[in-house]
Amino acid sequence: MEGREMLPPVEKLERKETRLELPSVGGTFIGILRNGDDFRGNPKQMAEAEKVPGGIEIGKLMPSAAAEARTFSEQQLESLLANLTAEEKAQVDIIVVASDAKLGSLATKDGSTPAPHQRCVETGKSVLEGIQSAMEKSGLASTQLLNFKFHKETPVTEGAQPLVLHDIEDIQMRPRTEEYFAFLKEQGKETGTNMWVAYETDVYKEKREEMGVEGPEEISKRMQAFIERAEKLASGQHQRSPGRRLLALAIAPRDVVGPWLNIQVSGLPAEGHEVPRIENLAGFGIAIDPEGKATIKLAGKQAELS
């Protein structure tokens, strides 16, 4: 980060302001989006859940969220391709990756372990449905969707599956993680501080480190490692297939994106700062030009990452 321009901290990222971009020839655009709304048993979700036969399991993507993800990706891709010639459309390759994040007992009111739904993977599947629809309407070949390359066993007729990644999971569950969050909850009863706010701001850093629990700075480093790996993978793809454009979408939880934005993009200390609020399907982009220069595009502003 030293010597690099920092962007002002953001308080909130909204979906209506989130735009994908068409990369230049030989370039890459990585859109990083928060997962869709998954069922947590909140009062706002109950009306929809009660209409689903058999109900909805905790952690499963809401039906309305799945529809929103399909519409979002379809409309965004159609818009990007609308003014391209057939020859230019044939240059575009697309890939969707997703975090393998699952809800743990920290997310349930009674501490029970929820069903192993993967909210980012489920969002990624819906995003891919929208992308495949836009590709078909726009005349792109199925071979331009690189997810089929990584899931060769999946027939095109069954739809593409997101490439699942482990380094953009949410908080790593270590031996004493649940114990630490129980401590935060108890402290919150005395201080009035929300458990998650206390974690994000690392109020009890010494206690957390003593218990060996992952903190905001470690999460930020994991996200940074993912960004750097994505840049290398994109470079390798262009070396194998020169003269093409690569559009990549990464579906990730707020828990891993937020600390990275604070620390790596805005240069904030790891302690004392809440992570940005990020609406479902909202996010930002990283544009990589043919020379490998990466630029983050966030909330109407941009700065070089490399």
| pLDDT tens, N- to C-terminus, the chain (306 residues) | 556 789 999 999 999 999 999 999 999 999 999 999 999 889 999 999 999 999 998 889 999 999 999 999 999 999 999 999 999 999 999 999 999 988 765 555 555 566 678 999 999 999 999 999 999 999 999 999 999 887 655 555 567 899 998 888 888 888 999 899 999 999 999 999 999 999 999 999 999 999 999 999 999 999 999 999 999 989 999 999 999 999 999 999 999 999 999 999 999 999 999 999 999 999 999 999 999 999 999 999 999 986
Q: For residue 209, is it within any domain?
A: no
- Estimate to the nearest angstrom the gap between the alpha carbon of 275 and the chain centroid: 14
DSSP character at residue 145: B
Write down the pLDDT at residue 103.
77
Q: For residue 160, is it within any domain?
A: yes
Measured CA to CA in angstroms, residue 83 lies from 20, 86, 168 at distances of: 15, 10, 34
Q: What's at 47, amino acid-wise?
A: A
Give the integer Cα–Cα distance in Å for 238 and 235.
5
Burial class of residue 302, CB neighbours in 10 A (0-12, 13-18, 19+)? middle
Backbone phi, psi, residue 163, to 5°: -80, 120
Q: How many domains does the chain have?
A: 1
Write down the pLDDT at residue 179.
93
Give the integer Cα–Cα distance in Å for 286 and 125.
22
Rg (CA), the chain: 20
Could you give the maximum distance between any two Cα atoms of the chain, in Å?
Answer: 64
**Considering only CA atoms, which of 286, 282, 281 is closest in space to residue 230?**
286
Q: For residue 184, is it within any domain?
A: no
Range of the domain at 255: 12-172+214-304
pTM for the full model? 0.92
Q: Which residues pair with 247 in a beta bridge?
A: 29, 94
Q: For residue 193, is it within any domain?
A: no
CATH value at residue 240: 3.40.50
Q: For residue 192, is it within any domain?
A: no
Alpha helices in the chain (DSSP H): 43-49, 63-81, 86-89, 119-138, 147-150, 177-191, 195-200, 205-210, 216-240, 254-260
Write down the pLDDT at residue 125.
97
Q: For residue 154, is it within any domain?
A: yes
Q: For residue 1, is it within any domain?
A: no
Q: For residue 19, is it within any domain?
A: yes
Q: Which long-range contacts (CB under 8 A, 24 or more apart) does 182-189 make?
A: 183/207
Residue 156 token pair: 């095109």
